[in-house]
Structure 1
Amino acid sequence: MRTDQWWRSAVIYQIYPRSFADSDGDGIGDLRGIIGKLDYLADLGIDAVWLSPVYPSPGADAGYDVADYRGIDPLFGTESDFDELIAGLHARGIRLVMDVVFNHTSIEHPWFVEASASRDAAKRDWYLWRDARPGCVAGQPGAEPNNWESIFGGPAWTFHEATGQYYLNLFTPEQPDLNWENPLVRAELAEVLRFWLGRGVDGFRMDVINFVSKDPRYPDGRVGSSGLGDGYPYFSNGPRIHEFLAEMRGAVGPDVLLIAEAPGVTVRDGELYTDPARGEVDMLFQFEHVGLDSGETKWDPRPLQLAELVENLRRWQLEIGDGWNALYWSNHDQPRVVSRFGDPAYWRESATALATLLHLLRGTPFVYQGEELGTTNFGFTSPDQCQDIEALNAYSALLSRGLTPAEAIARVAPVSRDNARIPIAWDASPSGGFTTGTAWLPLHPERGLFNAAAEADDPNSVLAYYRRLIALRHAEPAISLGRLDTLELVGDSVVRLVRVGEGSTIEALINLSSTPQQVAADGGTVVLSNLPVSADWLSLAPWQAVVLRRLGG
């Protein structure tokens, strides 16, 4: 039985370490860089930090290919740096949530090194090995055990010549999938969680955790435009997923925050994952709302339909039952929300309007680094500016489909994960205050417009608005713990959101368009607005958000 549910009224800030702050001038963010910004985080008002991986890694997928689950990559600092970071956060009343990547390891992890030594290796069964398809010659195209396509493109199986079998890699060939059917694997991963709890960590975000139980038949998937099969129905939400999660919960106890990242789940799945009575995970990252502007793939975009977005948010709010949502617009895998769902011409207004909608929903809001500054997409014009393996693979695939280089980069640029990984602009200097060296990714060309130094003391800045928004959420139980009464689209572009708590009601009217809109409210005191509000206001300016409070629940 959970006794401490601090996360229900919390706001969590995600740090992507290599792009946050660089303390030693090598162009890559590090732990001491984060330590130097702890007062900034405290001033923002956040309750916890989600730290993307800082484990030793060869970097095939920017740290999500882990070579040692219990270490700190020297790229980011030392063990003592990590201890100092936890102490500094806790001293400021901020908790730390670690990212754990348990679906797969790096090929350089000692477990895989041992597993790949021979078919008789002690850890061979720690990974998923299969023979070639019957009647095919191992190692030849089309001989893979099934036709699944990896998340990043290409077959999801890699032939290991030395032992004559294939291993499953749902992401890159450098990320072999672990075999969760093996109880020794699960026991070791549970020990990893306990190890970090012993170091002072407060919770875990579990990367693609709904992939760890696969359909044991490994059937072919429906063939798509790539010529490969969609294995998602067979490698996600598998037959033992809830058993496995319950086992992890048992290993850490009821009060440790567990967050599941679960691509492709439905709201019904989400209800099961986060049902407090089941006790598996506390909240869920789902992907439906960030897929509404995609066609068959994210590289085939379609215009966002606002009515569809609002309906999707409403459904996840009302149909998840007693479960809990992890609320987000952006993270290390998603482009900047101002460019995606807002209007860069109204970058301040749309950044704050979208933030208002997100933070007033039922669930725990996440702020991705730089989001509180109103950061937009980079505007990539060449693949040479990118490092994201997913985007580079997609660029090559689009060229093979007959697109020109200009057409291919135009498809990739708006949704590349590198948009989120551009280093944070702390000031408007040539180095952006991020590093004294050369940054690992190019700095944002418009860092003079949105940077922390310029916004810190400006009461009209996006940063100042985030501080007020987070403070309002903490101060108003109707927002943090109340029920959702209404979430609807009024007309073509105004979102009306009503939250009800004991003793008060919060109503928000948010114009998600670049044209003025007429509105009607049920009355109340204006407690927050991203633009000036007159006493007799009856219309919303482009991207204006107004939040009112009424007594009575």
Structure 2
Amino acid sequence: MSESRWWRGAVIYQIYPRSFMDSNGDGIGDLPGIIDRLDHVAGLGVDAIWISPFFRSPMADYGYDIADYRDVDPMFGTLADFDALLAKAHALGLKVMIDQVFSHTSDAHAWFEESRQSRDNPKADWYVWADARPDGTPPNNWLSIFGGPAWHWDPRRCQYYLHNFLSSQPDLNFHNPDVQQATLDYVKFWLDRGVDGFRLDSINFCFHDAQLRDNPAKPEALRVGRGFAPDNPYAFQYHYYNNTQPENIGFIERLRALMDGYRDVAALGEISAEDSLATTAEYTSAGRLHMGYSFELLVDDFSAGYIRGTVERLEAAMTDGWPCWAISNHDVQRAVTRWGGADASDDFARQMVGLVCTLRGSVCLYQGEELGLPEAEVPFEKLRDPYGITFWPNFKGRDGCRTPMPWTADAGAGFTTGEPWLPIPDAHRARSVAAQSRDEGSVLAAARRFLHWRRGQPALVTGAQRFVDAPEPVLAFVRGDGDDRVLAAFNLSGQALDWPLPAELAQLRVLDGHGLPSGALDGGSIHLPPHAALFAAVD
């Protein structure tokens, strides 16, 4: 079928269903709750939603441990509820993308329950099983992201099975063609149901090294990464063999061939590899994934130079692919706190929405970013995330970014009439949707204005990008092609500054109506107040 490119430059709003809206008072968000609040999402001016997993699951990893890929967990509702959600989203002009977790299942999945019974049953080779070493230790030195060895002993088979995440999340064996086909079959199930695309969780983790070679050690000075250093031994290795294997390319091409038989669908891959930018470029080449995103803007580094360097490195490698950018999601500390600190201003929150939505590529906005929500402090006794519980207190896990959406300022924040599954901070209730909707000067009002304004600026949606040399803390680039070019300049600091314009940008016409704190032209310079942005047509 003909390929639509609605996803190029799309703003995709991520919904974490446990925390979006609870319709039945059990303290946990659900699909009917999402339906109730879709008007808010559509009113923002976004193009699509991405819904984190809502499938049947024991919830050891809160939905990323799937027990049935073709059914909705009763906690979230029913398949009929999903169909109703899909219909309402489409009626509002929103595309719907859902999470798919290919690399592993829950240990409660029927496939695994059969596989673990013996070494000769029909699904014996559907997971990654290996004999112990002669001394009884695991077959190699691979480590789990969530801490400790990536192998778990199973007494039924007297073998170890691989788990790159929790021990209750056994890895599927994608070297088995039957596993690949079963995966494509349930992808087809959702495509036939009418979804518009998928966010593919840890897509580079599908295949492992068939020889089970040890990962080499990483020098201490290089043990950095998303939540991995210094107390997580996962950072002690180069992960050359437990993920990102060359065989994955063939499977991705099979997936794309399946999706190309449907109209207006897209695949967005989450990629975390030793060189994530290079892998993103490789995975989004022609005939592979439509889009890819990595964690380079989900880390602690924040400077104009870092952002420019990250984008330019990806652009240099990505000759025919399409990037997607995110600065917050359900796995990392919220950007307002991570980059702006505990006392980040509302202007900083406004600027972050504008900045990520101005980079060349598509965008994932995480629920609450439009409110400028800071990271929540969750006490140890209230933690739910197994990752945070294991590594507390040095790393508090992911619960701080997963607390429920504040719709109102009351005790349940308009999220629930019961006890919320995670506590809702007072600071979040003060930033509720209801409160900010009444304030034309709020972060929410600015986000709405900016996203609607952006839709009318083709250069900022699909145009090319070229960075302009500027001193820290100014990030400046030109978006667009030919006669339709727009300069975007951001002051990333809390102090006002003046930036003398390069001669090539002498002819500018300031664009207004974007809703962000704005800079101004002053002769041959741009004056930028704290955390301000200037958008100008390049004549």
Q: Call closer, same or farther: CA 1:226–1:439 in 2, change over 3 Å.
A: closer
Residue 444 of structure 1 deviates from its aligned partner by 2.1
| Cα pair distance change 1:227/1:545, threshold 3 Å | closer
Aligned to 2:240: 233
Partner of residue 308 from structure 1, selected from 302, 306, 309: 306
CA distance in 1, matches of 2:164, 2:515: 45
Aligned to 2:298, which of 290, 296, 306?
290
Choose the corresponding residue for 1:512, options 475, 486, 492: 492
Give the Å deviation of 1:292. Answer: 5.2
CA RMSD across the alignment: 2.0
Matched, 1:418 2:399: yes
Match of 1:192 among 172, 175, 186: 186
- Structure 1 residue 494, shift from structure 2 partner: 1.2
After superposition, the Cα gap between the structure-2 partners of 1:27 and 1:282, relative to the gap in structure 1 and judged at 3 Å, is: same
Contact 2:3 2:260 in 1 (8 A): no
What letter is aligned with 2:284?
T
TM-score using structure 1 length: 0.89
Where do 1:279-358 residues align within 5 Å?
A: 279-291=287-299, 293=301, 304=302, 306-358=304-356
CA shift, 1:532, in A, is: 5.5
Q: Mean Cα displacement is larger for which, 82-91 or 310-319?
A: 310-319
State whether residues 21 and 33 of structure 2, in contact with CA within 8 Å, keep that contact through their aligned partners in structure 1: yes
Q: Is the 8 A contact 1:342 1:512 kept in 2?
A: no
The unaligned stretches of length 5 or more in structure 1 are: 138-142, 294-303, 396-408
What does residue 161 of structure 2 align with? 167
Aligned residue in 1 for 2:425: 444
Q: Could you tell me how far apart the structure 2 residues matched to 1:535 and 1:546 are?
A: 9
Q: 2:251 aligns with which of 244, 253, 262?
A: 244
Contact 1:219 1:234 in 2 (8 A): yes
- Structure-to-structure mapping, 1:42-81, within 5 angstroms: 42-81=42-81
Cα separation, partners in 2 of 1:247 and 1:317, compared to 1, 3 Å:
same
Change (3 A) 1:535 1:260: closer
Q: Is the 8 A contact 1:169 1:177 kept in 2?
A: yes
Question: What residue number does 1:301 align with?
Answer: none
Question: Structure 1, residues 454-482: CA drift from partner, whole Å, max 9, x if none?
Answer: 11232221112212222232211111111
Could you tell me the TM-score, scaled by structure 2's length?
0.91
Quick one: which of 523, 541, 548 aligns to 2:536?
548
Query: 1:398 matched to which residue of 2?
Result: none
Letter in 1 for 2:99: D
| Match in the other structure for 1:479 | 460
Contact 1:378 1:445 in 2 (8 A): no
2:60 is paired with a residue whose SS is coil
Does the CA-based 8 Å contact 1:263-1:286 persist in structure 2?
yes
Query: Hey, what's the Cα distance between the residues in 2 that align with 1:161 and 1:4?
Result: 50
Question: Which residue of 152, 177, 180 corresponds with 2:146?
Answer: 152
Further displaced range: 183-192 or 343-352: 343-352
Helix, strand or coil for the counterpart of 1:390?
Answer: helix
Cα drift, residue 535 of structure 1: 7.0
1:526 alignment partner in structure 2: 511
Judged with a 3 Å threshold, the aligned counterparts in structure 2 of structure 1 residues 291 and 336 are, in CA distance, closer, same or farther, namely closer
Separation (CA, whole Å) in 2 of partners of 1:227 and 1:69 = 31
Q: CA deviation at 1:28?
A: 0.2
Per-residue deviation, residues 161-208 of structure 1 (Å, max 9, x unmatched) = 122000000000100000101111111111101100111111111111
Give the distance between the partners of 2:277 and 2:380, measured in 1 at CA: 36
Q: Percent identity?
A: 39
Change (3 A) 1:349 1:335: same
Relative distance call for 1:190 and 1:423 in structure 2 (3 A) is same
Matched, 1:204 2:205: no
Distance 1:511 1:2, change over 3 A: farther
The one of 444, 447, 452 equivalent to 1:463 is 444
State the SS of the aligned residue for 1:497: strand
| CA distance in structure 2 between the partners assigned to 1:206 and 1:35 by the alignment | 23
Deviates more, 1:89-98 or 1:250-259: 250-259
On the 8 A contact 2:57/2:68 being kept in 1, the answer is: yes
Residue 182 (structure 1) aligns with = 176
**Secondary structure at the residue paired with 2:337?**
helix
**Where in structure 1 do 4 or more consecutive aligned residues deviate above 4 Å?**
223-229, 532-538
Structure 2 unpaired stretches of 5+: 219-230
Contact 1:9 1:474 in 2 (8 A): no
> CA–CA distance in 2 between the matches of 1:484 and 1:309?
13
SS of aligned partner of 2:26: coil
